[in-house]
Amino acid sequence: SKRTRPCDACRKRKTRCHTEASATSCVLCQFHEQPCTYEQTPRPRKRTISSTEGSQHIERSNFRTNRTIPGTGVEEYDALPDGTTLLKRTLGLQNLHHSRYLGINNSLNVCGLDLGVSSLSQRPSEMNIKVRYVHPQHAFEIVPDASVPDSSNENSVLEAIEAAVQGHGADLVKLYFRIIHPAFPILHKEVFLEKYSRSFREFSPPLLAAVYLLALGYWSYSDSLSAKQKPPIQPLKQLAMESLHVAMQRAKLSTIQACLLISQEQTNELSFITGESHSNMTAQLVQLAHRLGLHLDAGEWDLPDWEKSLRRRLSWAVSMQDKWLALVYGRPSLISSTTWDVDRLNEEDFPDIDEDDTAGSSEVEKGRLVFMHMADLAEILSDVLDDLFSPRAQRSIRIEDHGLVGLLVRIKPLQIRLKDWFFVLPERLKHDTVASMKLSSVGYLRLAYLAIEASIHRYITTMLVKYPRQDPTLVTVCRNAAKERFTTAFDFLNRLQASHLASFWYLTSPECAALIYHLGSLLEATTGDADEKANLGQMLKACRWILKVNGEAGANFMRHARSLV
């Protein structure tokens, strides 16, 4: 229906389509004063696979494949009584096995065609490989964890992690789901708590360490912990990193989750993740995501509904990290739209809806909206990287041939998409209001948007310096627009409240703040007007002061940003 799919204009812009209850046109079409039509054919939905069809397909599979069928493929959780676990038929969070996606040209016969005996039959070590079909065109190899070196050491590592938090694990888990999870929902809360209620030994060591690690940053926000001595954080960091490298050899969804959370730790105290480490970890993260099939949408796969949604959230979290690190470090993105086919997030992908009324908790509904719109923003950023900052784009942008007008024509569609993205933000994400005694993560979303704007205007200003022989009127317009963006971003940083500053901030928030500062610094260094230079210099001084004072007061992302300017 019209209300469940985007209108023609929003589909073309790749923006979220929102229509008020009593309106006949979506918000963006009203804004642009254009017809809101649904005439174009919508993107065809993936065909749902019936259980009968799936079974028939599996029966056609090559006899070399020792298949697993729904309900019997995972011994550990499928053996539990019905109604006692969400983990029956899980693919990505098995306890003693891990999975590997079998690509279309894999030597195993994924398509299930009866091609007879292949050369694989001559390799006895592969005769008992288990393959699980989640769709007629998609299958995973199921591998025992015990086949990977160092797997037998896992229990001792988990014991060491528990010892590192000195018996406060349960309180730290509560703290994590109160503050961090609502702002960065990459876990499934009910699944995590189900496993934790049985035993911490069911967890992947790096994920458990990462949850504890981030929760330690909010130690004083727990009434039961604040009066106690905080455990030293360094032993836990070392265990997290060491166990992560081991877990990557038998990757599961929990490995992706751990990698994402450990990356986020850089906004916490005593950061041990450098820019180079972030880039290396993200390269590994993307590779693991491909291995686990996260580059594909699981909406029509034969998996539990909660895992389909979790996979989609993780897919977007990986893509977001890749895009933002590409922007702030000036490196090529590792993910392209042609190799990453995952549907957009919707509210049904976020099962956690219960707000925690405890003072100092994060807002669950607002955090969900922030994550969804951050993913939408990453789509626009992807095109900014491709159309403006990629090596191929840099070769084609020749101001000496096409002039400043040619550059602005190239940039205009991107700026329109950014403007549209901001215009359709829900009101609760546009304003600085925060619920009483709650933490708000909306700051990292707004800062990310301002950083993209700043990067574009910084690029334009740099081109004006490199190629000074341009139309003076157009140069003035460009500089005024850049100053306006810098002023807007400066005002945003200046207006942040304590409930914003103490909340969760995204891993690239320090670099985003520094990028905004450097736009102002470039404008100040290249102006020929004495008054403008003095005014910009004063704003830069005030910006450094904001970063310093708030950073020393506990806003860790600002402390990191201060070291970058």
Buried-state track 447-470, b at ≥16 Cβ within 10 A, e below 16: bbbbbbbbbbbbbbbebbeeeeeb
Structure tokens, 228 = 């106690």
Residue 461, φ and ψ in degrees, nearest 5: -65, -40
Which pLDDT score is estimated for 435?
72
Distance, in Å, from the CA atom of 104 to the CA atom of 127, rounded to the nearest integer, reads 20
Residue 459 CA to residue 519 CA, distance in Å, equals: 9
Q: How many residues does the chain have?
A: 565
Neighbouring C-alpha atoms within 13 Å toward the C-beta of 555: 24
Helix (H) or strand (E) holding 214: helix 205-216
Report the C-alpha gap between 520 and 536 in whole angstroms.
7
Across the chain, which distance is largest between two alpha carbons, in Å? Answer: 81
Q: Determine the 3-state secondary structure of 486 from DSSP.
A: helix
**Residues 119 and 62 sit within 8 Å (Cβ to Cβ):** no
Cα separation, 276 vs 279, whole angstroms: 5
Distance, CA of 343 to CA of 324 (rounded, Å): 20
pLDDT value at position 166? 93
The Cα angle at residue 255 between residues 231 and 237, in degrees rounded to 5: 25
Quick one: pLDDT at residue 438? 87
Q: How many CB atoms lie within 10 A of CB 477?
A: 13
User: E strand or H helix at 362, and its extent?
Assistant: strand 361-362
How confident is the prediction along the chain (565 residues), in pLDDT tens digits per residue?
444 577 887 776 656 677 766 678 876 777 666 788 887 765 544 444 444 444 443 333 332 233 333 333 334 687 777 777 898 889 999 888 899 999 887 766 555 544 333 333 333 445 456 889 999 889 999 988 888 877 668 889 999 999 999 999 999 999 999 999 999 999 999 999 999 998 899 999 999 999 999 999 999 999 999 999 999 999 999 999 999 999 999 999 999 999 999 999 854 444 445 566 788 899 999 999 999 999 999 999 999 999 999 999 999 999 999 999 999 999 999 999 899 999 999 999 998 887 887 877 888 889 999 999 999 999 999 999 999 998 888 888 776 666 788 889 999 999 999 999 999 999 888 766 777 788 989 999 999 999 999 999 999 999 998 888 888 999 999 999 999 999 999 999 999 999 999 999 999 999 999 999 999 999 999 998 999 999 999 999 999 999 999 998 888 899 999 999 9
SS3 readout for 52-110: HHHHHHHHCCCCCCEECCCCCCCHHHHCCCCCCCCCCCCCCCCCCEEEEEECCCCCCCC
pLDDT of residue 146: 84
- The pLDDT score that the predictor gives to residue 111 is 58
- The amino acid present at 485, given as its one-letter code, is R
Residue 562 · residue 548 · CB < 8 Å: yes
Q: How far apart are CA 179 and CA 91, in angstroms?
A: 28
The one-letter amino acid at 3: R
Residue of 460, 461, 384 whose CA lies nearest to 421: 384
